[in-house]
Amino acid sequence: MSITFLIIVITSVTSFIAFTKHSLREDLLFWPYKIKREGQIYRFITHGALHADAMHLIFNMVSFYSFGIALENYLFLAIFGEMSRAVLAIMYVTAIVAAVIPDYFKYKDRSFYRSLGASGAVSAVVFSAITIQPKMPIQFFFIPYPIPGYIFGIGFLILSAALAKKGSGNIGHNAHFWGSIYGILFTYLSAKLLAGIDLLDYFVKTILN
């Protein structure tokens, strides 16, 4: 079975159950205050299987499917061979944790802060694909022309950092930013250590050519 599809099924089922069972949602979402005081470290992972509403879930899962399938069936497959599914699964799960570590230290003594969603992991997947294929075209329905992946990536990181610093709204811009950075580092180091491929050298040559 496709690991991308399996993650989508697990995330969607858990999210839909939590839409109506609020006690389950409260027990699984990311809550730094509870993690520090009650040792509920499982929240570092379980919050990634929850979403605020159906639109939040659909947006994340459509984005994940688009890039996850590309990694699993083509990009990771070309680099890691038979290990491609395992590498994708490890990156996704660890990205859920890595993306919220900065927020844990920032909010561990503030009881009001809670968050949920797979945005950090999805950002890692998107930026992993961009790391491997820097000029891959990325297009949105409101923009008539495709944007090269590396240009989109630079703009996304700048915007996420600025919005995170501003601290407005309920969107986890910190998770977007750090998930993206994690996706880049994970992909580069995995390719280097497991396949002996220097993606940084390839990235630079691709952009300059």
For residue 20, the domain's CATH number is 1.20.1540.10
Domain that holds residue 51: 3-208
**What's the pLDDT score for residue 5?**
97
**What's the pLDDT score for residue 170?**
47
**Does residue 77 carry a pLDDT above 60?**
yes
What's the pLDDT tens digit per position in 106-165? Answer: 999 999 999 999 999 999 999 999 999 999 888 766 566 788 888 888 887 887 777 666
Task: Transcribe the chain into DSSP letters.
Answer: --HHHHHHHHHHHHHHHHHH-HHHHHHHSB-HHHHHHH--TTHHHHGGG--SSHHHHHHHHHHHHHHHHHIIIIIHHHHHGGGHHHHHHHHHHHHHHHTTHHHHHHHTT-TT--B--SHHHHHHHHHHHHHHSTT-EE--TT-SS-EEHHHHHHHHHHHHHHHHHHT-SSS-HHHHHHHHHHHHHHHHHHHHHHH---HHHHHHHHHH-
* Structural domains of the chain, count: 1
